[in-house]
């Protein structure tokens, strides 16, 4: 009897896995279409592509929320606690619960509206004309607010956060940002009095795009990015994308011929995401366990490779001579260059911000999004509110909306609630990097030789391979021995920038 019943459970579980694999395939197909839209699709494809994406979103949603899925989930039974199967069921049930509350009409409409909003955003940014984007923003926001109304949460914005960081909340983020603000704002203020001459001169000039691409490829090849399982293309707004499996994880990059960091650190950032995805256990492919566990943890990896690695002294002690070979126009000693890539300089664009002021850009977006979801702020008033907060936190007012409220793609594609992940990622990046170095002290000397195998190995073993198996907090505690905390990050900032701007000597 017991054997029969186990066999039946196994059959049900297998049917469930098949169904989830089908749904995963449809989402992956949609990701290919989205990648294509942002890299190669001609203008004439915009309307048709919006329909295709809406259809795929609707079909995947319908399959996910169908009574058949519910039935399989109900009868797939309990699995051994701690097993992959148990985690798969937990995740599938959560997805099912969440999706079941959303009407298919809303899902398809959101997909269609965002697919049209994105090209409109590109045009609006090109022409720095908010009015071209505002009606799209209104439509997207209305749909996301409707979505929030169907979902749980103490705060209407919680439903947005939960999608990117399961377990996150407005309350929790307010507390995190309070700590970050308390640590970072005084530091920025102190440094502002000591800015002196612009340290970023070595990063400005004329940098051949092909040479930039080649150098970036060398760097991320040394990180361990596997070109047989990925590729790099150009996009207006860089991103990393995968298709439900670690065998095809692509990055995109934007190069600025006059400003080296845009392409270089952008490449390292997206490669960090990609290393994570390429490192997920391949047996999780086409299941709910595939992919990074949360956007907070994901950004911890993009920021770790971008900042803890590629903005570090050990990294440049190996790569600076190579950079000078690649760009004969670059001159000066390594210390000057190191100070350049770590120059603090309040600026308009988040993706180009230095490590220290970066979180203030995120804080600004977090507060604006909370206001939008509390209906305390209207889309019409957004540019003004943006500029006011820029002045408050960074002491500058963007010259125009392209350099201000229009700079990011997130709202166009409906990614409300995503921005805080960047700061969560910053916080976790240091906690994870310090745990890695503590466990494997050879990581730093290896970095000086341009070798990153031990670091990548530690991250694969402790973070990447697990995919979505553990909850984010649980994963961090398993990897570092402690729950997520801002302490290590703030101490790191204080130490690094204290040294760079002469505090350490003075104290």
Q: Which is nearer to its own copies, 40 or 150 (CB)?
A: 40
CB of 85 to its own copies, least distance (A): 20
Report CA-CA distances (Å) from 342 to 26, 269, 396, 462: 42, 15, 19, 29
Contact at 8 Å (CB) between 124 and 133?
yes
Contact at 8 Å (CB) between 360 and 216?
no
CB of 339 to its own copies, least distance (A): 38
DSSP state of 204: B
Size of the site for its own copies (CB under 8 A): 43
At 242 the three-state DSSP class reads strand
Which of 9, 12, 15, 46 is close enough to bind its own copies by CB under 8 A? 46
- List active site positions: 270
Which of 9, 12, 15, 32 is close enough to bind its own copies by CB under 8 A? 32
Which of 8, 11, 48, 150 is close enough to bind its own copies by CB under 8 A? 48
Contact at 8 Å (CB) between 417 and 369?
yes
Return the range that interacts with its own copies (CB under 8 A); candidates 18-26, 126-134, 345-353, 415-423: 18-26
CB of 25 to its own copies, least distance (A): 4
Which of 7, 47, 195, 388 is close enough to bind its own copies by CB under 8 A? 47
Query: Is 348 a residue that touches its own copies (CB under 8 A)?
Result: no
CB of 427 to its own copies, least distance (A): 32
CB of 110 to its own copies, least distance (A): 16
CB of 15 to its own copies, least distance (A): 15
Which of 285, 423, 431, 454 is close enough to bind its own copies by CB under 8 A? 285
Which of 4, 42, 154, 210 is close enough to bind its own copies by CB under 8 A? 42
Q: Which is nearer to its own copies, 25 or 281 (CB)?
A: 25
According to CB under 8 A, which residues from 404 to 423 bind its own copies? none
Burial of residue 444 (CB within 10 Å: 0-12, 13-18, 19+) is middle
Query: Is 401 a residue that touches its own copies (CB under 8 A)?
Result: no
DSSP annotation string for 114-166: HHHHHHHHHHHHHTT-HHHHHHHHHHHHHHHHHHHHHS--SSTTHHHHHHHST
According to CB under 8 A, which residues from 209 to 248 bind its own copies? 226-231, 233, 243-248
Q: Which is nearer to its own copies, 59 or 310 (CB)?
A: 59
DSSP annotation string for 254-269: --BTTBHHHHHHHHHH
Structure tokens at 146: 């409707």
What is the phi/psi pair of residue 259, to 5°?
Answer: -140, 110
Binding mask 290-329 for its own copies (x = CB under 8 A): ----------------------------------------
Q: CB-based contacts of 348: which residues, under 8 Å, 6+ apart?
A: 390, 396, 398, 399, 403, 404, 407
Residue 483 CB neighbour total at 10 angstroms: 10
Which of 125, 136, 139, 286 is close enough to bind its own copies by CB under 8 A? 286
Which of 16, 20, 59, 124 is close enough to bind its own copies by CB under 8 A? 59
Which of 15, 29, 102, 326 is close enough to bind its own copies by CB under 8 A? 29
Q: CB-based contacts of 238: which residues, under 8 Å, 6+ apart?
A: 251, 252, 253, 254, 266, 269, 270, 351
Which of 38, 52, 110, 312 is close enough to bind its own copies by CB under 8 A? 52
Measured CA to CA, the distance from residue 456 to residue 281 in angstroms comes to: 14
Return the range that interacts with its own copies (CB under 8 A); candidates 56-64, 88-96, 144-152, 468-476: 56-64
Measured CA to CA, the distance from residue 389 to residue 403 in angstroms comes to: 14
In what side-by-side order are the strands of the sheet with 232-234?
A: 232-234, 249-253, 240-242
According to CB under 8 A, which residues from 67 to 106 bind its own copies? none
Contact set with its own copies (CB under 8 A) = 21-22, 25-26, 28-30, 32-33, 36, 40-49, 51-52, 54-56, 58-59, 226-231, 233, 243-248, 250, 285-286
């Amino acid at each position: 009897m017991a054997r029969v019943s186990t066999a039946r459970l196994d059959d049900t579980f297998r049917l469930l896995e098949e169904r989830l694999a089908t749904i995963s395939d449809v989402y992956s197909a949609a990701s290919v279409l989205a990648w294509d839209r942002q890299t190669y699709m001609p203008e004439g494809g915009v309307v048709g592509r919006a329909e295709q994406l809406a259809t795929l979103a609707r079909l995947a949603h319908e399959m996910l929320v169908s009574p058949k899925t519910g039935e399989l989930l109900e009868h797939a039974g309990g699995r051994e606690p701690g097993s992959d199967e148990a985690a798969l069921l937990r995740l599938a049930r959560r997805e099912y619960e969440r999706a079941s509350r959303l009407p298919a009409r809303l899902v398809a409409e959101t997909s269609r509206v965002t697919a049209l909003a994105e090209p409109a955003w590109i045009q609006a940014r090109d022409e720095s004309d908010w009015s071209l984007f505002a009606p799209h923003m209104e439509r997207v926001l209305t749909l996301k607010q409707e979505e929030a109304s169907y979902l749980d949460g103490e705060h209407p914005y919680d439903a947005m956060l939960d999608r990117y960081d399961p377990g996150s909340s407005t309350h929790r983020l307010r507390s995190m940002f309070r700590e970050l603000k308390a640590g970072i704002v005084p530091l920025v203020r102190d440094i502002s009095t000591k800015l002196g001459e612009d340290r970023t001169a070595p990063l400005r000039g004329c940098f051949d795009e092909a040479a930039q691409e080649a150098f970036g490829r060398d760097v991320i090849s040394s990180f361990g990015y596997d070109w047989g399982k990925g590729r790099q293309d150009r996009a207006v707004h860089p991103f990393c994308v995968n298709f439900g499996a670690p065998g095809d994880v692509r990055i995109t990059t934007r190069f600025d011929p006059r400003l080296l960091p845009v392409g270089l650190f952008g490449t390292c950032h997206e490669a960090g995401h990609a290393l994570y995805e390429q490192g997920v256990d391949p047996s999780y492919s086409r299941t709910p366990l595939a992919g990074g566990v949360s956007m907070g943890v994901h950004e911890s990896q993009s920021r770790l490779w971008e900042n803890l690695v590629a903005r570090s002294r050990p990294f440049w002690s190996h790569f600076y001579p190579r950079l000078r070979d690649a760009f004969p126009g670059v001159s000066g000693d390594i210390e000057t260059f190191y100070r350049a890539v770590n120059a603090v300089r309040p600026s308009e664009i988040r993706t180009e911000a230095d490590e220290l002021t970066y979180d203030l850009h995120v804080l600004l977006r977090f507060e604006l999004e909370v206001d939008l979801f509390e209906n305390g702020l209207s889309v019409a008033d957004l540019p003004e509110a943006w500029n006011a907060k820029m002045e408050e936190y960074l002491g500058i007012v963007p010259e125009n909306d392209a350099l201000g409220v229009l700079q990011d793609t997130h709202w166009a594609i409906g990614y409300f609630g995503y921005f805080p992940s960047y700061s969560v990622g910053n916080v976790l990046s240091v906690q994870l990097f310090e745990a890695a170095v503590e466990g494997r002290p050879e990581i730093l000397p290896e970095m000086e030789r341009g070798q990153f195998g031990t670091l990548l190995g530690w991250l694969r073993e402790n973070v990447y391979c697990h995919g979505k198996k553990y909850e984010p907090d649980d994963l961090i505690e398993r990897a570092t021995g402690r729950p997520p905390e801002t302490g290590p990050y703030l101490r790191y900032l204080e130490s690094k920038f204290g040294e760079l701007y002469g505090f350490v000597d003075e104290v």
